[in-house]
Chains A and B, each alone.
Chain A
Amino acid sequence: ELKVEQNPLFLSMQEGKNYTIYCNYSTTSDRLYWYRQDPGKSLESLFVLLSNGAVKQEGRLMASLDTKARLSTLHITAAVHDLSATYFCAVEGTSYDKVIFGPGTSLSVIP
């Protein structure tokens, strides 16, 4: 059964600092998503990672995928307050039907 874990679950960081959020999953998959959710809002797609070694960057966020280690990272560079949100990773099962979500990482960037 596919399980997805994230750590940390809560992250408070100062503006200008760097940090990494980790996403581990339990069974083989070659497709991983990162989403952002603002309080009370729906989910916004950030990245789709399709293969081992994939790296995507958008602004201060960079995501990578290591399928052998079953690990994805979301790296935040020089954090700003606007990045405060909950970040979810989600992993697709090998039968291309279900997508299983991690518990989310609640990020708070403090001025």
Chain B
Amino acid sequence: DGGITQSPKYLFRKEGQNVTLSCEQNLNHDAMYWYRQDPGQGLRLIYYSQIVNDFQKGDIAEGYSVSREKKESFPLTVTSAQKNPTAFYLCASSIDRRRTGGVPLQETQYFGPGTRLLVL
């Protein structure tokens, strides 16, 4: 079955600690994204990557870091610089529409099940 997996489902962070959230996809998608969702709010883009070894900051990148060493994997590290990390983190992937020249495709972003991060 193709899809996106995220782990762990719940993660607890102590103050001053860096933690890493895993995101893996087997959909052969080039583009991957990390979003943060606070209670009762919409999704805000943290980082995105459209090709291996390259990634771009989203709207709220401060206090986070990512890597994209493999096409299937896009881990997110929440660093100690992120002072308010408690949130629901969602990873997504999609076809890179730049490569299709923007040709309309019935494609969407596919989301993983999410990781809930809590601070101890």
Give Cα distance in the complex from A103 to B40, angstroms.
Answer: 9
Point out the residue from B41, B48, B90, B113 that lies within 8 Å of A98, measured CB to CB.
Answer: B48
Closest-CB distance, B32 to chain A (whole angstroms):
12
Chain B residues closer than 8 Å to A48, beta-carbon distance: 106-108
Closest-CB distance, A6 to chain B (whole angstroms):
8
Closest-CB distance, A51 to chain B (whole angstroms):
7
Q: Mark B101-120, 1 if CB is under 8 A from A, else 0.
A: 01010111111111000000
Chain A CB within 10 A, most for which of B40, B48, B107:
B40
Instruction: Give the secondary structure class of B's interface.
Output: loop
Q: Is B98 positioned at the interface, with any CB of A under 8 Å from its CB?
A: yes
Give Cα distance in the complex from A1 to B56, angstroms.
Answer: 16
Whether the pair B110, A104 counts as a contact (CB closer than 8 A) is: no
With both beta carbons as reference points, the residue of chain A lying nearest to B41 in the complex is identified as A103
Number of interface residues of A (CB under 8 A): 25
Q: Is B42 positioned at the interface, with any CB of A under 8 Å from its CB?
A: yes
Whether the pair A100, B45 counts as a contact (CB closer than 8 A) is: yes
Chain A residues closer than 8 Å to B96, beta-carbon distance: 96
Chain A residues closer than 8 Å to B107, beta-carbon distance: 48
Chain B residues closer than 8 Å to A98, beta-carbon distance: 45, 48, 58
Point out the residue from B56, B58, B104 that lies within 8 Å of A50, measured CB to CB.
Answer: B104
With contacts A88-B43, A96-B98 taken as known, whether A42 is within 8 angstroms of B104 at the C-beta atoms is: no
| Contact surface of A with B, Cβ cutoff 8 Å | 30-31, 33, 41-45, 48, 50-51, 88, 90, 92, 95-104, 106
Listed A/B pairs (12) with beta-carbon separation below 8 Å: A30-B104, A31-B104, A43-B90, A44-B111, A50-B104, A51-B104, A90-B109, A96-B97, A96-B98, A99-B33, A99-B109, A103-B42
